[in-house]
Structure 1
Amino acid sequence: MRRPDLVVPYQEPAANSGDSAEFSSTLSSTLPMAAIFTRNRYIGWASVVISIQSWLGESEEASKSSNSTPGYFTIGMSLMALAVTYLPMFMPPQLNRGATGTGAPAPMPAAA
């Protein structure tokens, strides 16, 4: 037998805004690394914009949390990543005259 007075109806839990903050924090900390590894300037600029948005949208409880990265640190990391993407413009890589790159070595002249 079922007792209707003991049935508790299901209530959907309230939406937690912390999930979107975690996603934003994840993007703002991984995009600078992607920009450094790929040296893609578009990813570098996106990391700067997303880290600034993440820092400005940070809640009080997220900023006081001990496991979250401070907003100024993510902005500094993204600015450093952007500087790394523009570094070859100011310090071009040195070419080694004897090396031919990743291909086979140059042929030796025939001995006479």
Structure 2
Amino acid sequence: MESKKEKDMRQPDLIIPYQEPAPKGDNAEFSSTLSSTLPMAAIFLRNRYVGWAAVVFSIQSWLGESEETRKSPSAPGYFSVGMSLMSLIVTYLPIFLPPQPGLQQGSATGAAAPAAS
């Protein structure tokens, strides 16, 4: 039968203190995703504010790249900066090359709708 008073087998010299693990770099992935999708949103919406936000976020993610991020097979930071600058050019393009007045927006081919009298 077991005795109520068992010998403590723990040895104080073998105790390893708890160390909190380092946080994962999920913020870098989120900013990288944001810096690659905002230029597309600026191009589709033709919104200059979204284009400027894309430029700011892509420069931030490019400057915040770590060595591990550079070694990964993802797109480099300067590529997202280039895409955001291209989206900014596309949003400002109608100022420098205005659309032709004869063409309707939305349909490049086909006859115009008849005007109501």
Q: Normalising by the residue count of structure 1, what TM-score does the alignment of the two structures yield?
A: 0.75
Counterparts of residues 14-33 of structure 1 (less than 5 Å): 14-16=22-24, 18-33=25-40
Instruction: State the number of aligned residues.
Output: 96
% identity of equivalent residues: 73
Counterparts of residues 9-48 of structure 1 (less than 5 Å): 13-16=21-24, 18-48=25-55
Distance of 2:68 and 2:20 partners within structure 1: 24
> For the pair shown, which has the larger CA radius of gyration, 1 or 2?
2
Match of 1:56 in 2: 63
> Which runs of 5 or more structure 2 residues have no equivalent in the other structure?
1-8, 10-18
> Which runs of 5 or more structure 1 residues have no equivalent in the other structure?
6-10
Q: Normalising by the residue count of structure 2, what TM-score does the alignment of the two structures yield?
A: 0.72
Match of 2:99 in 1: 93
CA deviation profile, 1:30-57 (whole Å, cap 9, x unmatched): 0000000011000000000100000000
Q: CA RMSD in A?
A: 2.7
Do structure 1's residue 72 and structure 2's residue 78 form an aligned pair?
A: yes
Distance of 1:13 and 1:56 partners within structure 2: 25
Match of 1:83 in 2: 89
